[in-house]
A and B are shown apart, each in its own frame.
Chain A
Amino acid sequence: MKEILQALNELKNNKIIDDYAIGGGIAALFYIEPFLTFDLDVFIIPTEKTKCGNLIILSPVYEYLEKKGCSWKGEHIIVGGVPVQFIPADGLEREAVGNAKEIKYEGIKSKVLTPEYLITVLLRAGRKKDLEKIEILLKLTDIDRNKLGDVLRRYRLSEKFRRLL
């Protein structure tokens, strides 16, 4: 885990990506009790130079990691023993990365989506397991309801959220 966080910070410091934040199950795990998950989702903001029209070129990210000895397993790249999936951030996720919570893991700085953005991203995905996580996040985490309401409204997810409650 330490190794992937170091690698993510290197990608940012070496300007291979503009920014990143941990999302998905591991972000949820930061706020709620431990549960089984297998991969680490990382939302990244690609640099301008990796954008080519509608195409986002992630090869510089993967080439950097491969040079460090990371290998592929299916759709994941294994960094320090952890299967990682990089997700180029869209509008909502870009905002979520920009507002992510700074954390430390064994002394290594990193960023995790805040519960408000995590709930919004999970709600939009809308799979059963995502909705279950939302339920637990609402129960076990201090949520800024105003902030959550604002994000849900702006991304037209308020009605979907109301239906969930």
Chain B
Amino acid sequence: MKNTKKRKIALKKDNMITREELFKRKEIFHAEQAKLPFEEKIHALVRLQEIASRVKGNAGNKTVWKI
């Protein structure tokens, strides 16, 4: 089985990373998001609710907090 961890991915012209690095960056991103102030998280939640209300159509949950 080929080792895909070291396979490189070109993000941009001069930005090459391995799959391993890509997933490591992803984890750092999640950890940073978790550290956001509560207020910012609530605003992010409302943005997610707005997106969900648009993509789900009439059958979905249309709840968007009016904060």
Tell me the bound Cα distance from A106 to B48 in angstroms.
21
Chain A positions 41 through 53: 1 when the CB is less than 8 Å from some CB of chain B, otherwise 0? 0000000000000
Tell me the bound Cα distance from A38 to B49 in angstroms.
7
Q: How large is the interface on B (under 10, 10 to 19, 20 to 34, 35 or more residues)?
A: 10 to 19
Tell me the bound Cα distance from A2 to B65 in angstroms.
12
Majority SS at the chain A contact face: loop
Q: Is B38 touching A36 in the complex (CB atoms < 8 A)?
A: no
Tell me the bound Cα distance from A82 to B39 in angstroms.
14
Tell me the bound Cα distance from A103 to B39 in angstroms.
11
Q: Which of A33, A81, A105, A140 contacts B65 (CB 8 A)?
A: A81
B67 at the interface (CB under 8 A from A): yes
Q: Is B34 touching A1 in the complex (CB atoms < 8 A)?
A: no
- Closest chain-A Cβ to B53's Cβ sits at a distance in Å of 10
Q: What are 19 A-B contacts defined by CB distance under 8 Å?
A: A2-B67, A33-B33, A33-B41, A34-B41, A34-B44, A34-B48, A35-B45, A36-B48, A36-B49, A37-B45, A38-B49, A38-B63, A39-B63, A80-B67, A82-B67, A105-B39, A140-B30, A140-B34, A141-B34
Chain B positions 1 through 44: 1 when the CB is less than 8 Å from some CB of chain A, otherwise 0? 00000000000000000000000000000110110101101101
Tell me the bound Cα distance from A80 to B66 in angstroms.
7
For A86, the chain B residues whose CB sits under 8 A away are none
Q: How large is the interface on A (under 10, 10 to 19, 20 to 34, 35 or more residues)?
A: 20 to 34
- Closest chain-A Cβ to B9's Cβ sits at a distance in Å of 23
Tell me the bound Cα distance from A34 to B32 in angstroms.
11
Q: Take A29-B41, A140-B30, A141-B34 as given contacts and tell me if A35 and B66 are in contact as well, using a CB distance cutoff of 8 Å.
A: no
- Closest chain-B Cβ to A111's Cβ sits at a distance in Å of 12
- Closest chain-A Cβ to B45's Cβ sits at a distance in Å of 5
For B48, the chain A residues whose CB sits under 8 A away are 34-36
- Closest chain-B Cβ to A5's Cβ sits at a distance in Å of 11
- Taking A33-B33, A35-B45, A103-B38 as known contacts, 9 extra A-B pairs with beta carbons closer than 8 A to each other, sorted by chain A number, are A29-B45, A33-B36, A35-B48, A38-B63, A80-B66, A81-B65, A81-B66, A140-B34, A141-B34
